[in-house]
Amino acid sequence: MEENIKIFGVKINKTTLDGAINKVKEFLKSNDNNPKAIYTPNTEIVMAAKDDNFLRKIINDGDLVIADGIGLIYASKIKKRPLPERVTGFDLSIEMLKLANKEKYNVFLLGGKEGVAKQAKENIIKEYPNVNIVGFHNGYFKGTHISQPGHNEEKKVIEEINKSGAHMLFVGLGAPKQEKWIHENKDKLNCKVIIGNGGTMDILAGMVKRAPDIYQKLGLEWFYRLIKDPKRIKRQMVLPLFMFKILFSSQDVIE
């Protein structure tokens, strides 16, 4: 079976949540010195990458790319190249924490406002006491994500991560900042797997609530977020445009 499809040229792995965590297990056991990068694009990011060659290249270079957006699933089904299910960055991150809890992997948390990663750490160890959170750092240092690659502050963060002995690195700098940061820096890092997981840290810290199950089951998480935070309307305007292009483009939008 083919491993991935491309939506507007952006690679998405055909995987379930179970399949994704199995891939992570493989990454952790691999002898490869380079960390494996996991990206979690939603529909907005695919739309951004469609028009941004560099972002598209970054995502296509990822070792595992999961579809964190219901629009991507609908599009894949409409075009008869179905993705099995939506796999969110949050859900995969939780599975990774459960795995770390079971197998005693070390985790480093990078991202969020000052204090958020620390709070996330405290909440994580309450729930998963065997997870070893070996370090954390806020996401407001100077570095690649804000167009200052190689800045001293970034170098220090990388050194901290490398010294911590982390196997898993969570990078929550928002998209596409985190993708750019991971792509630029992964070769300098000595962990095994890096996931760009957006606002996961905020949820783990209890700052932001996930949509109730019913919204998730109905594929309406975007709607819940919109009513909670109406400012998102501007970003979410790309969703109908995405569906329009999927339905009416004459070229092969999904390969």
For the bound state, the minimum distance from the C-beta of residue 199 to ligand UDP, rounded and expressed in Å, comes to 5
For the bound state, the minimum distance from the C-beta of residue 1 to ligand UDP, rounded and expressed in Å, comes to 31
For the bound state, the minimum distance from the C-beta of residue 237 to ligand UDP, rounded and expressed in Å, comes to 14
Please identify which residue in 9, 82, 149, 174 interacts with ligand UDP, judged by CB under 6 A: 174
What residue number has its CB nearest to ligand UDP?
139
For the bound state, the minimum distance from the C-beta of residue 80 to ligand UDP, rounded and expressed in Å, comes to 30
Based on the shown chain and the rule CB under 6 A, indicate whether residue 140 belongs to the binding site for ligand UDP: yes
Q: Whose Cβ is closer to ligand UDP: residue 114's or residue 187's?
A: 114
Based on the shown chain and the rule CB under 6 A, indicate whether residue 177 belongs to the binding site for ligand UDP: yes
Q: Whose Cβ is closer to ligand UDP: residue 77's or residue 113's?
A: 113
Q: Whose Cβ is closer to ligand UDP: residue 26's or residue 114's?
A: 114
Based on the shown chain and the rule CB under 6 A, indicate whether residue 176 belongs to the binding site for ligand UDP: no
For the bound state, the minimum distance from the C-beta of residue 9 to ligand UDP, rounded and expressed in Å, comes to 21
Please identify which residue in 63, 154, 202, 221 interacts with ligand UDP, judged by CB under 6 A: 202
Based on the shown chain and the rule CB under 6 A, indicate whether residue 182 belongs to the binding site for ligand UDP: no
Give the chain as a DSSP string.
---EEEETTEEEE---HHHHHHHHHHHHH---SSPEEEE---HHHHHHHHT-HHHHHHHHT-SEE----HHHHHHHHHTT---S----HHHHHHHHHHHHHHHT-EEEEEESSTTHHHHHHHHHHHH-TT-EEEEEE-S-SSSGGGT-TT-HHHHHHHHHHHHHT-SEEEEES-TTHHHHHHHHHGGG---SEEEE-TTHHHHHTTSSPPPPHHHHHTT-HHHHHHHH-GGGHHHHTHHHHHHHHHHH-SS-SB-
Based on the shown chain and the rule CB under 6 A, indicate whether residue 199 belongs to the binding site for ligand UDP: yes
